[in-house]
Amino acid sequence: MSRPSFSVASGPPGSTRRPARLRARLLSVLAALGLALGALVGLPGAAQAAGSLPCDLYGDAGTPCVAAHSTVRALFSSYNGPLYRVTRVLDGAATDIGLLAPGGYADAGRQDTFCGGTSCRITRIYDQTSRHNDLNPGPAGTAGMGADRGADASELAVTAGGHKVYGIFTSPGVGYRSTGAASGVAVNGQPEGVYMVASGTHVGSACCFDYGNAESTPADTGNGHMDAVSIATTCYFAPCTGSGPWVEADLENGMFQGDNGSNTANRGNNSTYVTAVLKNNGQTRYALKGGNSQSGGLTTWWDGGLPTRGGYKPMHQEGGIILGTGGDNSNWNMGTFFEGAMVAGYPSDAVENAVQANIVSVGYSGQTNVPNGPQGTITGPGGKCVDVAADDTGVNGAAVQLWDCQSYAEDQHWTHNPDGSLSTISRCLDVVGNSSANDAKLELYDCNGVGGQKWVQQADGSLRNPQSGRCLDAPGGATGNGTRLQIHDCDGSAAQKFALG
């Protein structure tokens, strides 16, 4: 979707996939349901079962995955390739994070070793099908924002299958996109389905936290040119029931919950983990479903006609893929992504129920609403936190200031790197112009190793910049929200007490 007017058929690499007999499909579905039942009643059992993962289930039902993305686990039982790539902020070195075993869970330990003591970004999310529909940070679009940045790789650790794994913690400015039209993805009114596991607690109302089909270039090309699932508190077509978040369909120029937008039957999904499902036959009909990814089944919020507003019957999809943004790269919203897939054809209710059962069997656990990585807060005068202006967007030159501490604010969580720098949202605490002058202001800037980015904690609680010999300082001891920080002669005053959390 574009910025709203209101305020804010393939298998894994190396495999050949053929339509299965009905008996095989039923066995796969029953196996997945059995796994979910075991999880629900607390019975021990394997976290994954051969042939029972989401893309196996979709493929056996005749609606094969054409794109499959996750930083958590394999979505094919035979997949044994990389899930995602991490890149260190300080030196640009990169490595791919794969699986502990074929068809299994992410090797988070490899990421921890590679990124230990410093910041990493997720710079690629690999497609697990043989189509190579990989996602990279998206380019600037017609929404007016700059190019996207990759998410902080260590910002949100959760548990899946009994293993530590990382989700993609999306905040304004973070987003991913395929290059051009992706292979096999629906275009020009073809049928398709999409699901994702996301957070129902780390959500917002701005545009747009989407996963699915979008324009092949980052521009709004009109109604019906998108077909992406979203979870947000965006009530685009009033009235809405409650305060959300709601599973919605971003069909471009509208977040739809029902026929022409509004659907008061949609009561929302606010569980810690949410399964969000969208399917669209491309001509006349679409359906929306939501469920708790930790227990139970799916609730159908809408199963009926496509909007009668112009441009949606038939659809005009372009086959691009987005994650965390709108079609024109509107990237003001927030969310958390764990796994998702796009399929060719119109999936049956039975296979979607089986996929939900498999998701429940994973045993997702852990908070999803606040960063929980190695970063810590920097608390300064008045108990306020060191914060970056402009709400987590983190562009070069953004002012560094004091602000009320907010546990969910990504730009208040800082990493103290081995070279002495302090970084958040993939950039460093920096003295403007690398100045050593008294009262030089502080900003956020690309980490580049200069002296104006080095900080040493002193015994008296101050943070000293060795290059200038001066200390981090709140001018005149001010403690109000928005107080722009600076460096000043170290004097031991309360204005220079900053505690690393």
Beta-bridge mates of residue 452: none
Secondary structure element (H or E) that encloses residue 460, with its range:
none
Residue keyed to tokens 């807060």:
377
Distance CA 86, CA 95 (A): 6
CB 225 within 8 A of CB 210: no
Query: How do the residues of the chain divide into helix, strand and coil, expressed in percent and rounded to 5?
Result: 15, 30, 55
Distance CA 275, CA 36 (A): 14
CB 225 within 8 A of CB 215: yes
Determine whether 219 is exposed, middle or buried from the number of CB atoms within 10 Å of its CB (0-12, 13-18, 19+): middle
Between the CA atoms of 125, 244, 202 and 344, what dihedral angle is there, to the nearest 10 degrees? -10
Residue 460 among the catalytic residues: no
**For every residue of 173-201, which 3-state class applies, written as one string?**
CECEECCCCCCCCCCCCCCEEEEEEEECC
CB atoms within 10 A of CB 311: 16
* Distance from chain centroid for Cα 357: 22
Distance CA 160, CA 72 (A): 7
The residue annotated as part of the active site, out of 134, 252, 352, 473, is 252
Residue 328 among the catalytic residues: yes
Beta-bridge mates of residue 441: 486
Distance CA 212, CA 189 (A): 15
CB 66 within 8 A of CB 129: yes
Where would I find the H helices in 322-406? 349-362
Distance CA 189, CA 210 (A): 19
- Tell me the torsion sign for CA atoms 391, 197, 366, 374: negative
The residue annotated as part of the active site, out of 127, 220, 328, 410, is 328
Q: Please list the active-site residues.
A: 252, 328
